[in-house]
Structure 1
Amino acid sequence: MMNAVRPASETLTVGAAARRLGIAAPTLRSWERRYGLSPSARSTGGHRRYDAEDLARLRAMLRLVDQGVPTAEAAAEVRDRSYPVSSPAVTSATSVATGPEKAAAATFQPPARARREPSKPPADLFSLANAMDAERLTHEVARSLDRSGAVEAWTSRLMPLLVEVGDQWERTGACVEVEHLASDAVAGGLRYHTRRAVERNRPHEEERPVVLACLEREDHALPLLALAAALAERGVKVRTLGAATPVASLSSAVRRIRPAAVFVWSSAPETADLAALKTLVRTRPSYALVVGGPGWQSVGKPTGWVNSLSDAVDALVGAVRPG
């Protein structure tokens, strides 16, 4: 692979790339040595740098590892594939919001009992985000998940943080970099927690998995990572397809995977495509279709709609383990 010379603003060092991915920098260096997953770009000074396609490739590898694929096999699967990106700038694939969109539009709502008082962002996390301390913020996110579990940490700490950084952007017209850094840190912490949860709670081999996806126009996949983490804590097998999945591709995956349930996320009315949902392939044995997010609420709350992370977990676990 030819190394392209790129401006530093469009690429990341190994440390910065590792923080974006939620892994340790030595792990990233080890993958380069062992599996040939070398960064494809160089800075103008000749230093090796990770570009957006490199990050997309490594995220694809992490998804496979999260699903139980051995690291060497996952690396071989992604190494020689092309992962084109829509923009040359290195941004998060799971960014909560871009431009003027509010983070609140892309999150699960807390349970009704927790909505009596407006949630305040944890001061420690919010301060770290505004200080642009990505490494410590990712660490604190992971600690919150370890201490409280995915549902509680998401509801009481991570979701309020994401809402507040989105509101901060709207109030000031600045600080979009804080919003992106916060979403990257939350994504990294959730991925790290999910991998540890899979190791601790090995899924039952005979159980069918759950598929998590967004439809084609939905780019806000961060809530799927929270849901995947919560399901991993319960030993449920998860296959996360992520953002912007065409319904034909989702149907193809469902045919191959034969899941117990399919969860589809929508953050806004324009991504809540009921017509596409109705064309989703049906299989034998059948699966439960669960949808979540404020997008579906705006189009009439179709059958299977859930409003909170805890409700989504209950519905999906119930589909995998009925009764």
Structure 2
Amino acid sequence: MSSSEHDPAGLSTGAVARRLGVAPTTVRSWDQRYGLGPDVHTRGKHRRWTATDIARLERMSALTMAGVPPAEAARLARDGRPSDMALAARAPARPAPARSPSGTGLRLGDARRECKGLARAALRLDAASVDDLLTAAIDEYGLVTAWQEVITPTLQAVGRKWESSGEKYVEVEHLLSWHVVGALRRSAPRVPSGQAAATTLLACVPGEIHTLPLEALAAALTERGLPVRMFGAAMPAEALVQAVRRTGPAAIGLWAQSRSTASRPLAQHVAAMTWGVRGARRHPLVLTLGPGWAGPSVPGLPRPSGLAEALAVLETAISGDARRPVTR
């Protein structure tokens, strides 16, 4: 627990939200709508929550997750009576963050606390909280760390859940994925037109529909001021070749989630493409991205193991001369 959580004056709203696994806006809403704010008001606009205040919010969170309507849950949370848990047990069940494999929760092990809060919000299909928690994680840790240590573990846990439940929780994965894309795109400022000549082209190979890792890479490149063209899912081979010819990118990232879609001939063909005047012709650096490229590597083409490594390879290539002269 951080030193701020030992503060005798109480916790901030953000710290309370992280502890409960909800968005700060949810805590503020409970205060404004249902009078569940701190008992003691301090000067200034930053409220502090004591152990008593937090216990009341924990009851509110437990009751709403059990299916009790918010207004009734707030009344019971303020009363603090043991009967509130009995009422919650009789309420219609909602997905709750159980830890056992047979429960409705997600197995996250010793993942960051933000993962567990994000998972709980996704299971509740609480779109506003999912959005707020994703934005908070990216703001606090930066895009790359948030992707690797918060977003990816939660997405993987959701995937394992619906796979082991007969695809019962597909709606949870769809909602979480959609909001992850939105958070990634919001996090990176737009690179002004013409700011940099070198570009990166990102695309999924034909037949591949998993785009989230490429979305993360595109956002990370844009965050660093490196322009990128993102072509998304299942890029037809001929369309990919035409896009490369038209744009002459410094680097190309080809994503394949499964071995059945990873086309080594296509990657080699794109890597061999050239453009420019005779004597100074150039070709792109091609990265084979994703688990589909596992196994024998494509000769001469790097296969970064994750977002941070892919970003480092691209930054180095683009800052130097990725479009290497062809000696022929």
Q: What TM-score bracket applies, with the shorter chain setting the length?
A: 0.5 to 0.7
Residues in 1 aligned to 2:181 and 2:263: alpha-carbon distance in whole angstroms = 25
Code of the aligned partner of 2:256:
S
Corresponding residue of 1:139: 132
- Matched length: 203
Corresponding residue of 2:273: 282
Corresponding residue of 1:185: 179
**2:195 is the counterpart of 1:205:** yes
> Which of 116, 122, 130 pairs up with 2:123?
130
Residues in 2 aligned to 1:244 and 1:157: alpha-carbon distance in whole angstroms = 27
Code of the aligned partner of 1:205:
Q
Q: 1:231 to 1:279 in 2, by over 3 A?
A: same
Do the aligned partners of 1:213 and 1:240 also contact (CA within 8 Å) in 2?
yes
TM-score calculated relative to the size of structure 2: 0.58
Residues in 2 aligned to 1:139 and 1:193: alpha-carbon distance in whole angstroms = 12
Structure 1 residue runs of 4+, over 6 Å off? none
Gaps of 5+ in 2: 1-108, 276-281, 322-328
Residues in 2 aligned to 1:154 and 1:282: alpha-carbon distance in whole angstroms = 32
- Structure with the larger RCO, 1 or 2 (CA within 8 Å, 6+ apart): 1
**2:147 is the counterpart of 1:154:** yes
Residues in 2 aligned to 1:283 and 1:118: alpha-carbon distance in whole angstroms = 48
Deviations 1:69-115 (A, max 9, x none): xxxxxxxxxxxxxxxxxxxxxxxxxxxxxxxxxxxxxxxxxxxxxxx
Corresponding residue of 1:230: 220
SS in 2 for 1:291: strand
Residues in 1 aligned to 2:206 and 2:285: alpha-carbon distance in whole angstroms = 20
Residues in 1 aligned to 2:248 and 2:266: alpha-carbon distance in whole angstroms = 19
For the aligned residues, what is the CA RMSD? 2.1
Q: 1:299 to 1:221 in 2, by over 3 A?
A: farther
Residue correspondence of structure 1 range 220-299 to structure 2 within 5 A: 220-280=210-270, 282-284=273-275, 285-299=282-296
Corresponding residue of 2:309: 311
Residues in 1 aligned to 2:207 and 2:293: alpha-carbon distance in whole angstroms = 14
Q: Percent identity?
A: 35
Deviations 1:262-310 (A, max 9, x none): 0101111111111222232612332111111110014546521111100
Do the aligned partners of 1:203 and 1:235 also contact (CA within 8 Å) in 2?
no
Give, in angstroms, the shift of residue 118 of structure 1: 7.0
Deviations 1:166-190 (A, max 9, x none): 1111222211111111111111111
Gaps of 5+ in 1: 1-116
> Which of 206, 219, 222 pairs up with 1:216?
206
Do the aligned partners of 2:200 and 2:253 also contact (CA within 8 Å) in 1?
yes
Corresponding residue of 2:164: 171
Do the aligned partners of 2:267 and 2:288 also contact (CA within 8 Å) in 1?
no
